[in-house]
Amino acid sequence: MKYKLLGNTGLKVSELCLGTMTFGGKGWAKMVGSLDQQAVDKIMRRSIDAGINFIDTANVYSEGLAEELTGKSIRNLGLKRDDLVVATKVRGQMGEGPNDSGLTRKHILTQVDASLKRLATDYIDLYQIHSFDPLTPLAGDAVDPRRSGEKRQGSLHRRQQRRGWRLMKALDFSNYTRVEAFASLQAYYTIAGRDLEREMIPLLKDQRLGLLVWSPLAGGLLSGKYRRGEEKGDTGRRSGFDFPPVDKERAFNIIDVLRPMAESRKASVARLALAGCCSRK
């Protein structure tokens, strides 16, 4: 396993990160996956044995159940918490009340405590803004739970920052107000969807922020199990949850090239698609 620095933090994380959106299968997340504790433990064990030390979850995954399963798995497997880099997120709806979502100071601090409890840990390594909140000004979400020892670094999700100017504005705000600056950006990026290269990646390199890629296989479309013209008869995840949006014609053109390459190397299409993503510096 290769390890890379998380932005300018000095923190070393595995090049591959274990995502947990398939854990639990509660609420909307059941369209993605419904892994129980036994399956979670198996995946976690295999990931750790492969050298992965980076785990990404979110409070909205299975309405908090994914965090619970992740925390319990760490305990079940007897893993040393300090050997892991655990990331979670805040912003989504976590209740029926008017203040049970968003990026207000109230909601962020409430959800930090709730995530810590579900994960059964006393700190979060990377706390991420999951999506943009148009009702809360930048100063409102400049909360620094790190002062009470509850988190280590901050990050943004791609849906939070759709334009480079917005991210740069946030970084400047942190610089001039001396609050915790964002350490990374989590964004959708695949060999079939490279829009990030136009503006955001140059910005991340210039400002020395880390990039966390979500859905590098485009929701499974680049896994190799999908073939052009067979989508309607598919029973996989994308048949009921066609996300993220992908230019399918472009994706299948890429798959058509990858398939013979994979066969000649006795590798999977998915492995080549991941390699292509990882190789881009």
Quick check: 105 pLDDT over 80? yes
Which residues are the active-site residues? 61
Instruction: Quick: pLDDT tens for 204-253.
Output: 999 999 999 999 999 999 999 888 887 655 667 777 788 898 999 999 99
Query: Residue 98: which domain range?
Result: 3-214
Element (H or E) spanning 47, and its range?
helix 37-49
Residues 202 and 231 both lie in one domain: no
Distance between CA atoms of 24 and 278, rounded to whole angstroms? Answer: 28
Number of domains in the chain: 2
Residues 206 and 173 both lie in one domain: yes
Residues 6+ apart with CB under 8 A from 57: 19, 20, 23, 66, 67, 70, 86, 87, 88, 89, 119
Tell me, what CATH number does 164's domain have? Answer: 3.20.20.100
Q: Which residue has the tokens 């892991």?
A: 84
Q: Name the domain boundary from 214, 239, 256.
A: 214
Q: Which is more confident, 100 or 175?
A: 100
pLDDT reported for residue 228: 86
Distance between CA atoms of 128 and 19, rounded to whole angstroms? Answer: 14
Which pTM does this prediction carry? 0.91
Name the pLDDT band for 158 (thresholds 50, 70, 90): very low
Residues 143 and 226 both lie in one domain: no
pLDDT reported for residue 152: 61
What integer best gives the mean pLDDT of the chain?
A: 90
pLDDT reported for residue 159: 43
> How far from 237 is each of 167, 230, 232, CA to CA, in Å?
32, 14, 12
Residues 204 and 221 both lie in one domain: no
Residues 202 and 278 both lie in one domain: no
Distance between CA atoms of 167 and 189, rounded to whole angstroms? Answer: 17
Residue whose C-alpha is closest to residue 276's, from 257, 205, 5, 17: 257
pLDDT reported for residue 160: 42
The 8-class DSSP code of residue 160 comes to T
pLDDT reported for residue 148: 45
Instruction: Quick: pLDDT tens for 41-74.
Output: 999 999 999 999 999 999 999 999 999 999 999 9
Q: Which residue has the tokens 């990030």?
A: 196
Name the pLDDT band for 157 (thresholds 50, 70, 90): low
Residues 108 and 41 both lie in one domain: yes
pLDDT reported for residue 161: 46
Residues 164 and 27 both lie in one domain: yes
Structural tokens at position 40: 């979670």
Residues 263 and 146 both lie in one domain: no
> How far from 170 is each of 71, 129, 160, 184, 236, CA to CA, in Å?
31, 12, 11, 12, 39
- How far is residue 103 CA from its own chain's centroid? 18
Residues 130 and 268 both lie in one domain: no
In this prediction, residues 176-188 reach a mean pLDDT of 89
pLDDT reported for residue 134: 87
Residues 69 and 152 both lie in one domain: yes
pLDDT reported for residue 239: 75
Q: Which is more confident, 234 or 81?
A: 81
Residues 208 and 221 both lie in one domain: no
Q: Which is more confident, 156 or 187?
A: 187
Quick check: 94 pLDDT over 90? yes
Residues 246 and 113 both lie in one domain: no
Q: Name the domain boundary from 165, 184, 214.
A: 214
Q: Name the domain boundary from 191, 214, 237.
A: 214
- Widest CA span of the chain, in angstroms? 56
